Chain A
Amino acid sequence: MFNLFRKDQKPEETNNIKPDERIQEEESEKKGLFGISFSGLKQAISKTSESLVGSVISLTQEKDEIDDDLLDEMEEKLIKADLGVNTSVDVIEKLRLNKNRIKPDQVGEFLRNEFTEILNSAGSNNLNIKDNQLNIIFIAGVNGAGKTTLIGKLAYRFRLQGKKVLVAAGDTFRAAAEDQLEIWTNRAGAEIVRQDGADPASVVYDAIQKAKTDNFDILLIDTAGRLQNKFNLMEELRKIKRIIDREAPDSLVETMLVLDATTGQNGLKQAEVFNEAIQLTSVGLTKLDGTAKGGIIIAVAKELGLPVKLIGVGEKLEDLKDFNPDDFINALFN
């Protein structure tokens, strides 16, 4: 039975491999580790490419001009690709205004320019890491977005760069969250500060002191998942932010929202509210793997002005990748 369903494209199945083996295995192929290879990216977003670009372009075939029906159909396709209703409407409105100048066979080019412009307008997609100082990366997001996993993978990346990495187990609420994080940090070879059941702010405080005293390069702060409409939990997040600002004023280099790529319109709401609370600098997009949901990268850039800096494309330790907008556009349109 298994043979029937076995994935044919990936020879190694990671889930059954022990962590140590995993690290060794991956260290041997270190070279293209943080940037995703073009073919890898293309594979990860092939369905996105089809739904966001292919399906729209195929509508224009054998059309002589862009009419309202065609525009409506294109808009629906974009919405269906989770580009977000507002972004889809805006893009199509722009096309509508220029419909006399743009021929149907130029729609692909038009979209390409639009998407490129949107992605570029959101700012740099590189993690803002500085040498010779403590770099704090503060991670927040709703429940189940993939924060802890992202931190584990991120810790591993920094370790491979030879950095000294500390992780603050700020999710003191969810059962066994600290255990989960500790397993990840062990795999990555990072250190952890955990005080189960304590006030997360105090965990963060202690972690900052330790990071300063012991000269860590990187401090990754995990937080409990919280729905953005929970006032008290958002207050708690603000408090943690205040402590970081107070205890390590120039060290906070990234405040990142972890966003599940499967999320719909609420993702934008999440970014808005989290941004208001803790002034986000970037988005880490998780679970972007093989399904047709990459449109949200563009929606995030357009509607929030936040750059996506990391993308999670699989379950393996090295499956957290830098996001490169040029490659993304190329993979989308080629």
Chain B
Amino acid sequence: MFETLSDRLQSIIKTTAGQSKLNEDNISEALREVRRALLEADVSLKVVKAFISKIKDRANGEEVLKSLSPGQQLVKVVYDELTQLLGGSNKPLSTEGKPNIIMLFGLQGSGKTTSAAKLAIKLRKSGRSPLLIAADIYRPAAINQLQSLGKQINIPVFAMEDSKDVKDIVEHGINYAKENGNNTVIVDTAGRLQVDTQLMAELMILDRFFMPVEKLLVIDSMTGQESVNVAETFNEQLGITGIILTKLDGDARGGAALSVTHATGKPIKLVGMGEKLDSLEEFYPDRMAQRILGMGDVLTLIEKAQQSFDLESAKELEKKIRKKEFSLEDFMNIQKQMKMLGSLDQILGMLPIPGLTKENREQISHVGEKQLKRIEACVNSMTIKERKNPDILDGSRRRRISKGCGIPVDELNRFLKDFEKMKKMMKKMTDMTKNMKRGPGGAMKLPPGMRGKFPPF
């Protein structure tokens, strides 16, 4: 999502490497690029300015650490600031209130109804008993949409098809929840422009009467400069408690994320990551900042894997990777499991593979789905021994495999080489995660990609 931004930062940082100290001169060019990149990422101008000036001050005052290039130093500063800008620490949704009332609102097409259903699943997973209230009385078939989603995920939906009184609908919905033992209600409201005073008044009435403990602004991650106005107005009029950022599985650079948190001071609580109804995820500013800087999002991937599979096999896998015992067979298993996790593109986006730009990521995943099948064919033509220990694959074995699966030897060679590379990368990555977990008190808050590059203090 932020790939291009991270690509750009990475290439700028390369150009500043090899210089001895951070000073205004050697960062000014980089900062201009950062500014442009942020603007291209749709971060609003106001936020960009504040961000750049902060970076400038920090970078200038900062001691340059030994054995750190100015570029690395700048990455650290940018990373820290990004993390802070993205909202500091994230608080979970409040469960207060009987019932606990959550209201969703936002512009047309931002993804409220879908997010409402996703949120309901998420809450049910955490042991709540949600009821969805269909309060979008304007858009044709909006109620049907919520009802049909409710049916799909087996969560009750309260609707009054003939009513045009939103307050009345919500009131009845809440009573229905009380009577039926639902301890959480999620109110799906109609999309509206922040400048539509009458529809904004409708929300203010709901707010005043029912006092929802969570008022979540649903905002499309593709939103441009307008995002600040949207967030500010909704926040001023309704006092939002948080933000749901949707369609983050797209390739928008998502500068809106930075803009809205900065404009409102409210955290992004959840992010929509796909068409599947379980793809509403927690938002972690630190991980997002890592991701912005091309450090990947390993933690999210691990978490996702843990949710989808049993912990045992995940642990085993981690052990294998660390011991470099990761075999082609494990690779194939992961492939299979990954297919269940999401698209290749999504997964690759979470892996901190150095040099993996947005472009080649896209390319990989485009070609990838087909290529994976070819790889599968290769592996299927290997003996178990070969799969466990690819090092024994000499010329004659390779020729045999090639004949067996009908894939040219050079393609097989390439694949094996890539696999070796990946294996090394994965080992590095798990070591880093390990170090990070056990690292000394987090005094040096560095992105994981930079760990291990520092001498012990």
B17 touches A (CB below 8 Å):
no
Q: Does chain A have a CB within 8 A of B380?
A: no
Contact in complex: A229, B362 (CB < 8 Å): yes
Residues of B181-213 whose CB lies within 8 A of A: 193-198, 200-201, 204-205
Contacts of B40 in A (CB 8 A): 85, 265
Q: Which of A254-311 contact B (CB under 8 A)?
A: 260, 262-267, 269, 287, 289-293, 296
Asked if A287 contacts B108 (CB within 8 A), the reply is: yes
What chain A residues lie within 8 Å of B196 (beta carbons)? 7
Known: A1-B205, A228-B251. A262 touches B226 (CB 8 A): yes
Tell me how many residues of B have a C-beta within 8 Å of chain A: 59
Say whether A166 faces chain B, with CB atoms less than 8 Å apart.
no
- Given the contacts A180-B145, A231-B366, A264-B224, A2 and B345 also touching, CB distance less than 8 Å: no
Which of B201, B250, B253 touches A142 (beta carbons < 8 Å)? B250
Bound-complex Cα distance A15 to B449 (A) = 53
Segment of A74-82, A93-101, A325-333 engaged in the interface with chain B: A74-82
**B220 close to A (CB within 8 Å):** yes
Indicate if the CB atoms of B201 and A179 lie closer than 8 Å: no
Residue in A15, A231, A266, A287 whose CB lies within 8 Å of B369: A231
Chain A residues whose C-beta falls within 8 Å of the C-beta of B146 in the assembled complex: 175
Q: Are B110 and A6 in contact (CB under 8 A)?
A: no
Question: How distant is A235 from chain B, measured CB to nearest CB, in Å?
Answer: 10
Q: Which residues of A contact B198 (CB under 8 A)?
A: 2, 5-7, 13
Interface stretch (choices A34-42, A143-151, A207-215, A237-245): A143-151
Q: Is A63 an interface residue (CB 8 A)?
A: no
> For the complex, is B109 an interface residue (Cβ under 8 Å from A)?
yes
Question: Do the beta carbons of A82 and B195 come within 8 Å of each other?
Answer: no
Q: Does B130 contact A (CB under 8 A)?
A: no
State which residues 160-196 of B face A: CB under 8 Å.
Answer: 164, 193-196
Q: Which residues of A contact B141 (CB under 8 A)?
A: 176-177, 179-180, 182-183
Asked if B244 lies at the interface with its beta carbon under 8 angstroms from chain A, I say no
Q: Does A334 count as interface, using CB distance less than 8 angstroms?
A: no
Contact for A146 among B109, B194, B252, CB less than 8 A: B109
Q: How far is the CA of A229 from the CA of B368 in the complex (A)?
A: 13
Residues on B with beta carbons closer than 8 Å to the beta carbon of A144? 108-111, 220, 247
Q: In this assembly, does A103 line the interface, its C-beta being within 8 Å of a C-beta of chain B?
A: no
Contact B144 A264 (CB under 8 A): no
- Assess whether A184 is interfacial by the CB under 8 Å rule: yes
Contact A262 B107 (CB under 8 A): yes
| Contact, CB under 8 Å: B42 / A230 | no
Q: Are B193 and A289 in contact (CB under 8 A)?
A: yes
Residues of B101-155 whose CB lies within 8 A of A: 107-111, 138-142, 144-149, 152
B371 within 8 A of A: no
Q: Give the nearest-CB partner of A81 in chain B.
A: B225
Known: A228-B250, A262-B224, A262-B226. A143 touches B36 (CB 8 A): no
Choose from A146, A231, A260, A290 the contact partner of B195 (Cβ within 8 Å): A290
Determine whether the beta carbon of A229 is less than 8 Å from that of B345. Answer: yes
The distance from the CB of A79 to the nearest CB of chain B, in whole angstroms, is: 6
Given A4-B201, A85-B40, A175-B149, the answer on whether A262 and B220 have CB atoms closer than 8 Å is yes
Give the complex CA separation of A290 and B39 in angstroms.
23
Is the beta-carbon distance between A85 and B39 smaller than 8 angstroms?
Answer: yes
**Residue-by-residue, is B390-426 near A (CB-CB < 8 Å gives 1, otherwise 0)?**
0000000000000000000000000000000000000
A180, B197: Cβ atoms closer than 8 Å: no
A175, B140: Cβ atoms closer than 8 Å: no
A130: chain B residues at CB < 8 Å are: none
Asked whether any CB of chain A lies closer than 8 Å to the CB of B81, the reply is no
B201 contacts A1, CB within 8 Å?
yes
Are A85 and B36 CB-contacts (below 8 A) given A144-B109, A262-B226? Answer: yes
**Is the pair A76, B45 in contact by a Cβ cutoff of 8 Å?**
yes
Interface residues of B in 42-89 (CB under 8 A from A): 42, 44-45
Question: Given A76-B45, A175-B148, A264-B255: A227 and B111 within 8 A (CB)?
Answer: no
The answer to whether A269 and B251 have CB atoms under 8 Å apart is: yes
B223 close to chain A: CB less than 8 A: yes
A176 contact from B148, B164, B224, B365, Cβ within 8 A? B148
Q: Which of B148, B222, B229 contacts A264 (CB 8 A)?
A: B222
A266 and B42 contacting across the interface, CB-CB below 8 Å: yes
- For B247, the chain A residues whose CB sits under 8 A away are 142-144, 227
Q: How far is the CA of A182 from the CA of B141 in the complex (A)?
A: 9
Residues from chain B with a CB closer than 8 A to the CB of A227 are: 247, 249-251
Q: Which residues on the B side are within 8 Å of A2 (C-beta)?
A: 198, 201
Q: How far is the CB of A106 from chain B (nearest CB, A)?
A: 25
A320 to chain B, nearest CB (A): 14
Interface residue B343 (Cβ < 8 Å from any Cβ of A): yes
Judge if A28 is at the interface, Cβ distance under 8 Å.
Answer: no
- Structural contact, A296 and B107, CB atoms closer than 8 A: no
Chain B residue nearest to A79 (CB atoms) is B39
Q: Which residues of A contact B41 (CB under 8 A)?
A: 265
Q: A residues within 8 A CB of B230?
A: 262
Contact between B145 and A175 (Cβ–Cβ < 8 Å)?
A: yes
Cβ distance A226 to chain B, nearest Cβ, rounded Å: 9
Which A residues are CB-close (under 8 A) to B34? none
* Closest-CB distance, A146 to chain B (whole angstroms): 6
**Contact A262-B223, Cβ < 8 Å, known A228-B251, A229-B362, A287-B109:** yes
CB of A10, distance to nearest CB on chain B (Å):
10
Alpha-carbon distance A296/B152, docked complex (angstroms): 38
B256 at interface, CB cutoff 8 A = yes
Which residues of B have CB within 8 Å of A15?
Answer: 138
For A230, the chain B residues whose CB sits under 8 A away are: 249, 275, 343, 345
Whether B197 contacts A6 by the Cβ 8 Å rule is yes
Could you tell me which A residues sit within 8 Å of B by CB distance? 1-2, 4-7, 13, 15-16, 76, 79-82, 85, 142-146, 152, 173-177, 179-180, 182-184, 227-232, 260, 262-267, 269, 287, 289-293, 296, 315
Further 17 A-B residue pairs, CB within 8 A, beyond A5-B197, A85-B36, A146-B108:
A1-B204, A6-B201, A82-B224, A142-B250, A143-B111, A179-B140, A179-B141, A227-B250, A231-B365, A231-B369, A262-B220, A264-B227, A265-B253, A287-B107, A287-B109, A291-B229, A292-B226
27 pairs, A vs B, C-beta closer than 8 Å: A2-B201, A6-B197, A13-B198, A142-B247, A152-B140, A175-B145, A177-B141, A177-B145, A180-B145, A182-B141, A227-B249, A229-B345, A229-B362, A230-B345, A231-B343, A231-B345, A231-B366, A231-B369, A260-B220, A262-B220, A262-B226, A264-B226, A264-B252, A264-B255, A269-B251, A291-B193, A293-B224
